[in-house]
Structure 1
Amino acid sequence: MKLYPALAAAIAMSLASFSLPANAQDEDSEAEGTAGAAVVAPSRVTRIADLRFGAFASPATASTLRVGVDGSVVPTGAVASAMYVAQPPDGRGPAQFRIEQDGSFFFIAYYPRSVTISSGSDSMLVDNTTARLVRTSTAGTNSEWRLDMGGTLNIGANQSPGSYSGDFVITVLYF
């Protein structure tokens, strides 16, 4: 049977003109949902020790003093022979921070690439910083970590004597 376009349009229009009875429900319909949240104890970052380059005599030529994350100390240049002076009570060593991880969250720790330390108008740059994370304890899903940070102190020739310091921030993001 051949169907002509005009005939098909007429059939479609006649079908569209029929009205069917609406079947509405007698009652409204509802469903319940639940809202929830998990609150965990806050995680903390605590400073244990500062990054310490100790004491040294002012070198005649530009030098570097590297403190590794493992506490190793590597001098280069004239400071190598200028390191044998009385040390402060804390000596030399990496910065250390305690990171408490509560629950089964992941975290990322950020540390600075460089830090400027100053004494009055004089300054030195600490660069080539490195860090490591060491898990120190685990209890259930909670963990405690230690972040160790070392770096290289760039000492100028005939660096002015003084007590040099500078602040830096360790940022821990939990997710």
Structure 2
Amino acid sequence: MNIQFNRLIRNCIILSSLSLVAAGSAFAQQSASASADASATIIQPIAITKTSNLVFGNYAVGATGGSVSLSTADAVTINSGTIAQPAANKGSPAAAVFAVSGEGSFTYAITLPSDGTVSLTGAGAAMPVTGFVSSPAATGTLTAGAQNVKVGATLNVGAAQAPGAYTGAFSVTVAYN
């Protein structure tokens, strides 16, 4: 009986081992894995530099003042008031030009100054600059990695503005879309 008992124990141990191996194989077959590549592309940073300044030109101002608009196409419009531009000596009115550079074919947003943030100061009262416009308007495209942005605005001239040179500064911001 002892021999039978030993055979029974041995058979049980063998069967248990086989069932554990089979169970381990079954669990191993229940998982799978895959791999993926990771990548990144570093692009040219966007940059902006001033090429030329915004120049409103020369004006004579009467008793009521008014405003003068300068378009992105360098066209002057006297909107109101007693303002006159000399025919022979206009002072070379021109929109500001900014060179934008960066990654080719990328688009970017243009942010212009808000009304009330820019003034020209000089011999008399400060003259607010408002209504900034750009060409391209709100978004540009860096064809071959570059594009010029032209900026115009409206100069608000006070009544009987004191003669003299007036200057101020403004910023244009660009950012990739």
| TM-score of the aligned structures, taking structure 2 as reference length | 0.67
For each residue in 1:20-71, what CA deviation from the matched residue of structure 2 results, as whole angstroms up to 9, or x when unmatched? x66665xxx9865544221122232121111111122343221211111111
- For 1:3, the equivalent position in structure 2 comes to none
In the alignment, the residues of structure 2 paired with residue 133 and residue 99 of structure 1 have an alpha-carbon distance, to the nearest angstrom, of 11
User: Per-residue deviation at 1:87?
Assistant: 5.0
Unpaired stretches in structure 2, ≥5 consecutive residues: 1-22
- For 2:83, the equivalent position in structure 1 comes to 79
- For 2:99, the equivalent position in structure 1 comes to 98
- For 2:162, the equivalent position in structure 1 comes to 160
8 A contact 1:67–1:94 mirrored in 2: yes
Which entry has the higher C-alpha Rg, 1 or 2?
2
User: Per-residue deviation at 1:131?
Assistant: 1.5
Q: 1:164 to 1:50 in 2, by over 3 A?
A: same
In the alignment, the residues of structure 2 paired with residue 122 and residue 87 of structure 1 have an alpha-carbon distance, to the nearest angstrom, of 22
Secondary structure of 1:93's aligned partner: coil
Q: Could you say what the CA RMSD is over the residues aligned between the two structures, in angstroms? A: 3.2
For each residue in 1:113-154, what CA deviation from the matched residue of structure 2 results, as whole angstroms up to 9, or x when unmatched? 33212126730011122211198984xxx2422211111111
8 A contact 1:102–1:143 mirrored in 2: yes
Secondary structure of 2:126's aligned partner: strand
Percent of aligned pairs sharing the same letter: 27
Unpaired stretches in structure 1, ≥5 consecutive residues: 1-20
- For 1:17, the equivalent position in structure 2 comes to none
- For 2:146, the equivalent position in structure 1 comes to 144
User: Per-residue deviation at 1:85?
Assistant: 6.9
8 A contact 1:61–1:78 mirrored in 2: yes
In the alignment, the residues of structure 1 paired with residue 36 and residue 154 of structure 2 have an alpha-carbon distance, to the nearest angstrom, of 57
Amino acid at match of 2:60: A
Structure 1 segments (4+ residues) deviating >6 Å: 134-137
- For 2:109, the equivalent position in structure 1 comes to 108
Task: Give the stretch that moved more between structures: 126-135 or 53-62.
Answer: 126-135
- For 2:64, the equivalent position in structure 1 comes to 61
Aligned counterpart in structure 2 of residue 131 of structure 1, from 105, 126, 134: 134
